[in-house]
Amino acid sequence: MKNTEIKNLLFDLGGVIMDIKRANCVKAFEEMGMADANSLLGEYAQKGVFLELEEGSITPAEFRAEIRKHVSREVTDEEIDSAFCKFLLGIPPHRLQELESLRGRYGIYLLSNTNPIMMESDIKKYFRVCGKEMNDYFDGLSLSYEAKSIKPDAKIFEYTISHLGINPEETLFFDDSSVNLEAAAKFGFKTALVEPGMEFADIIKEKSL
């Protein structure tokens, strides 16, 4: 791959930039008495009410109301949000520094299956670990709940191309799901799989970007 081919770097969030642990989130909801948390919460895609929030078909308030139907005791909004955000472990500062160093040489963009509860609380908080805001690291964000679609659906890639104004053939997409990468490749994106224990910075070095 020649450097001149790539003008944009498009990143998934969880498992690529941010460390995540699904089991923590499942445990937190199970401790509330939610018996089906394990089946509804996935590593790469959600089901049921979690999916509806992620694809933007329900609001955070509607999500919380639905969660209360699944739990065995009274819970506050804050307890629900806190349990949900247990999915997120944080962002190592060296990844933020790498993003900062890449911006300017490339267009830096984010494409994430996520939700407004996490985004407006812990996600933005973790991006502040080095004293900057989330938007300081990216030229644009493509978020599933705004796109009304989730990876690997074709619609979210169509939205990403239009919303960010990027050419897929000039864009390298980093994701930890091979299914998502296969879907992206159909639109002409260059792709890179970030496997467990791997750093996206190492892939960038391997490709001489």
- Catalytically annotated residues: 12
Torsion of CA 4, 101, 44, 91, to 10 degrees: 170
* Of 155, 190, 186, residue with least CA distance to 169: 190
In angstroms, rounded to a whole number, what is the distance separating the alpha carbons of residues 3 and 103?
15
* Of 36, 103, 112, residue with least CA distance to 67: 36
Is beta strand 88-90 parallel, antiparallel or unpaired with respect to 19-20?
A: antiparallel
- What three-state secondary structure class fits 29? helix
CA 120 to chain centre: 13
Please state, in angstroms and as integers, the Cα–Cα distance from residue 142 to each residue in 65, 110, 126, 174, following that order.
Answer: 27, 6, 18, 14
**Widest CA span of the chain, in angstroms?**
57
